[in-house]
Structure 1
Amino acid sequence: MSASPTPRVLAPEIDPDNKPKGPASYFPSIEAKYGRGLQEWLDDVVSRLEGGASHMEVVTWLKTEHGMGHGHANAVVAYAKAALAH
């Protein structure tokens, strides 16, 4: 069995003693509400972005296919896009 490839965008480590700012502030509630780890969401989002989908196409996909709220979906996509831009 081969090792999993390193994700293109790594989920940040959230320090529970220091509330994160920006899109990352949504991440703890995203994991709790939608039952998947943030790295899974980021991997799916990055795959779609790299496949040519626009920001809003990926947000819409998260909302319609996974029931994610707009703010949560936008936060994941914005974080992924910012990380890919570096």
Structure 2
Amino acid sequence: MVNEPVKGPASYFPSIEKKYGRPIAEWQELVRRKMPAKHMELVAMLKNDHGLGHGHANAIVAHVLAAARR
């Protein structure tokens, strides 16, 4: 179990940080501030307001919403 590859939405996080120059925690906080909202509304906000690509925005939103359900 040591050094198992990261799976799911979190697997995008290193490339998101590298491409957009902000830590994942900042992106997650942006999403949390807009909640409650629908998944695709949050994705659209990240894409339209912050220039993220669809896959990267979707990964952040999916991760935040999954954590909120726990």
- Aligned residue among 16, 29, 34 for 2:20: 34
Q: Tell me the equivalent position of 2:37.
A: 53
Q: Could you say which structure has the greater relative contact order, defined with CA pairs below 8 angstroms and 6 or more residues apart?
A: 2
Q: Give me the whole-angstrom Cα distance separating, in 1, the residues matched to 2:17 and 2:25.
A: 10
Give the TM-score of the pair, scaled to structure 2. 0.90
The structure whose residues are more often helix, as a share, is 2
Q: Tell me the equivalent position of 2:59.
A: 75
Aligned length: 68
Unaligned runs of 5+ in 1: 1-16
Unaligned runs of 5+ in 2: none
CA-based RMSD: 1.1
Give the TM-score of the pair, scaled to structure 1. 0.74
Q: Which amino acid is 1:48 matched to? A: K
Offset of 1:19 from its aligned partner?
A: 2.8
Indicate the percent of aligned positions where both proteins have the same amino acid.
56
Q: Which runs of 4+ in 1 moved over 6 A?
A: none
Which protein has the larger Cα radius of gyration, Structure 1 or Structure 2? Answer: 1
